[in-house]
Amino acid sequence: MAESPLRPDLGALADLPGVWRGTALSIVTLPSSTPQPPFVVSLERSKETLQVERIPDTPNRSNVTLITTTGRAANPDLDIAIGGLSYRKTCEIASLGVAGKSRKDEETGLLLGIPKAISASETTADRPDEFAVSPYLVRHALIPDGYALSQWGRDSRTDKKPDIPNLAWTANGIAITDGSLAAYRHDLAVPVGKQIDDLVDSVDGFLTNPNHYLQHAVGKSGHDLSSTVTVDLALRAAAQAATFAANVQVRSARISYWIETVHGGPDRMVVARQLLYSQTVTLSIDGKDYDQVTVGVLLKDAESAPPASQASQASRRR
């Protein structure tokens, strides 16, 4: 009879359950019908609500069974338990610079924490760790654009503010920073400047580096005491949906999350939690690649955040 697996530690996902609200900006690129510009850019601003709940833990056979077949396992019935979350994100999206053009979208998915298949105590000199699988994270998502994503990745932790890198993007093989597109960037910025000046210092700065929005949000937090969990996930599989034309395919998809816990006061109590994310999906359209970028900043509802004492205990356990 198989042993009951221990309740899994959600690790990097532990602070996500609850309700998050905020704003996202998107850069959408498509083929151009004229030589100049070489691609068409539209900008969008969305009001987002993210609801995250823990799902029942799922027992799964671990690599111990595999090791048993080689004569190296002591317990062939040891299971691992996979813990995870379900999420639902609703978006109210407005096209910038186009009066009256708006829509509503919804994204649903799962975030799973896959633990290491065998514990360190089971790894000895005569039973090396060659079959063990390091912990990793999985995201399964149904994207409003009409496709499903399966992404894998890992997390890291640091006791400081999020360190968000610059983000470059291209369309039709050309970077938006190309000198020939300076006038086009100016024409894009003029009608939307006042629509996002509360989020970024300049539209051109956002166009050339979409993560500028996230960097700007971190700089405005006003708190020096922060801890951050960073999660990077990359595409492993994509299923094309009926809403895509036959000439459109998902080439790649990558998303990074920064979960910032802001502390304040002499006792370093949790003041707020901020979720920042940056996603780039590359679509192949008629054999040419077009990046689609979305960056967002969401704050966790105070009533859905765990008590500071719980957060402090979790921090000490890590």
Higher-pLDDT residue of 79 and 185 is 185
pLDDT in tens, 37-86: 999 999 999 999 999 999 998 877 654 444 444 444 445 555 677 889 99
Residue 73 in tokens: 């396992």
Instruction: Give the phi and the psi of residue 265 in degrees, each rounded to 5.
Output: 80, 170
Q: State the pTM of this model.
A: 0.83
C-beta separation of 199 from 215 below 8 A = no
CA distance 15 to 171: 35
DSSP label at residue 8 = P
pLDDT value of residue 227? 86
pLDDT value of residue 311? 42
pLDDT value of residue 73? 46
User: What is the amino acid identity at position 4?
Assistant: S
Higher-pLDDT residue of 261 and 145 is 261
Task: Give percent of the chain with pLDDT exceeding 90.
Answer: 48
Lowest mean pLDDT among 73-87, 160-174, 215-229: 73-87
C-beta separation of 115 from 81 below 8 A = yes
Residue 308 in tokens: 């500071």
Q: How many other CB atoms are found less than 10 A from the CB of residue 177?
A: 15
pLDDT higher than threshold 90 for residue 199: yes
Local confidence band at 223 (pLDDT 50, 70, 90 cut-offs): low
pLDDT higher than threshold 50 for residue 118: yes
- For the chain, the structural domain boundaries read 11-56+83-317
Q: Beta partners for 27?
A: 43, 293
pLDDT higher than threshold 60 for residue 122: no
Mean pLDDT of the chain: 81
Who contacts 112 (Cβ-Cβ below 8 Å, separation ≥6)? 82, 83, 84, 85, 137, 138, 139, 140
pLDDT in tens, 257-308: 999 988 776 666 777 899 999 999 999 999 999 999 999 999 999 844 444 4
Task: Give percent of the chain with pLDDT exceeding 70.
Answer: 73
What value does the mean pLDDT take over residues 238-244?
55
C-beta separation of 279 from 255 below 8 A = yes
Torsion 305-85-254-131 (CA) sign: positive
Local confidence band at 24 (pLDDT 50, 70, 90 cut-offs): very high
Matching residue, tokens 């999206």 = 93
Residue 180 in tokens: 């020939």
CA distance 118 to 266: 40
Q: Beta partners for 108?
A: 88, 142
pLDDT value of residue 159? 87
pLDDT value of residue 313? 42
What value does the mean pLDDT take over residues 189-193?
90
C-beta separation of 85 from 52 below 8 A = yes
Superfamily of domain 11-56+83-317: Calycin beta-barrel core domain (2.40.128.20)
Angle at 215 between CA 209 and CA 217, to 5 degrees: 125
Lowest mean pLDDT among 9-13, 45-49, 141-145, 166-170: 141-145
Lowest mean pLDDT among 7-21, 44-58, 84-98, 130-144: 130-144
pLDDT value of residue 185? 94
